[in-house]
């Protein structure tokens, strides 16, 4: 998007997974005068980066956080909930810890499933809800297969999903695949951390060849 201006306008700071912290990278980005920040790390370093930016009073605006590191417990609360205020991320899945979904039929369905099969599980772990959605998607593929479970037909049905709604997904986000596009989720919605929760805003955004 920036073309030949990229090197002049963007400062990139990398890290190794074996690094103890990313504190020095955050300090270097502040020193470089960066006024916008895209944080694309795993959860451990995301929490560190948010905390360090706050502690050195670096306030990039906008501050974007990659979806995979937007976990409430492992990132925003681990960093210090108030320290993440104003950060923007994108999401496609409901957060079962968000009171906004307390009475949502889809989340109630998932909670009932968990109570029956995994009563000791930590419901705040997003992996359980994600796995539930994946299992329902596979069930739809197998349902479409009818009585033909050959590899060819399974692949044919897996690439022929149309507007599949899952209880784990945000309203308006659906599963779609085609023989030329294997991206099942092509929609997301922006959300801003308020200090206590991710608050969604704006319209559903589509990408990945939609």
How many folded domains does the chain comprise? 2
Answer yes or no: do 176 and 190 share one domain: no
Average pLDDT of 3-10?
77
Asked if residue 170 and residue 122 are part of one domain, the reply reads yes
Residues 11 and 63 occupy one common structural domain: yes
Q: Do 87 and 126 belong together in one domain?
A: no
User: What pLDDT sits at residue 61?
Assistant: 92
Same domain, 191 and 174: no
Per-residue pLDDT tens over the stretch 58-110: 999 999 999 888 888 778 888 898 999 999 999 999 988 888 899 999 999 99
Asked if residue 149 and residue 73 are part of one domain, the reply reads no
Pair 161, 154: CB distance under 8 Å: no
Question: What tokens appear for 190 in the block?
Answer: 């922006």
Q: Encode pLDDT of 168-195 as tens digits.
A: 999 999 999 999 999 999 999 999 999 9
Sheet with 88-91, side-by-side order of all strands? 37-39, 63-65, 88-91, 187-193, 198-206
Instruction: Tell me: cis bond preceding 15? Omega within 30 of 0 counts.
Output: no
pLDDT of residue 103: 94
Q: Is 207 helix (H, G, I), strand (E, B) or coil?
A: coil
Same domain, yes or no: 146 and 71: no
Residues 115, 176: one domain? yes
The reply to whether 61 and 112 lie within a common domain is no
| Parent domain of 122 | 101-184
In a shared domain, residues 108 and 81? no
* Four-residue CA torsion sign, 42, 48, 51, 54: negative
199 and 153 assigned to the same domain? no
pTM of full prediction above 0.95: no
Is the bond into 7 cis (omega within 30 degrees of 0)?
Answer: no
Report pLDDT digits (tens) over 137-157. 999 999 999 999 999 999 999
Mark whether 13 and 115 lie in a shared domain: no
CATH code, domain with 35: 3.40.50.2300
């Amino acid at each position: 998007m920036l073309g030949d201006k990229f090197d002049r306008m963007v400062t990139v700071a990398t890290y190794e997974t074996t690094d103890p912290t990313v504190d020095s990278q955050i300090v270097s980005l502040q020193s470089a005068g960066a006024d916008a920040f895209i944080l694309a790390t795993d959860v451990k370093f995301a929490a560190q980066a948010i905390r360090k930016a706050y502690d050195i009073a670096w306030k990039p605006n906008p501050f974007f956080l990659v979806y995979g590191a937007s976990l409430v417990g492992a990132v925003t609360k681990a960093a210090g909930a108030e320290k993440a205020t104003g950060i923007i991320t994108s999401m496609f899945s409901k957060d079962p810890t968000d009171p906004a979904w307390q009475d949502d039929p889809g989340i109630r369905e998932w909670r009932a499933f968990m109570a029956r099969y995994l009563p000791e599980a930590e419901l705040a772990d997003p992996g359980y809800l994600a796995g539930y959605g994946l299992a329902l998607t596979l069930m739809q593929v197998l349902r479409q297969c009818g009585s033909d479970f050959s590899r060819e037909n399974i692949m044919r049905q897996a690439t022929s999903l149309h507007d599949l709604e899952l209880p784990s997904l945000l309203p308006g986000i659906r599963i779609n695949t085609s023989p030329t596009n294997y991206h099942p989720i092509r929609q997301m919605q922006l959300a801003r951390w308020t200090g206590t929760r991710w608050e969604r805003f704006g319209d559903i955004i589509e990408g990945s060849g939609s």
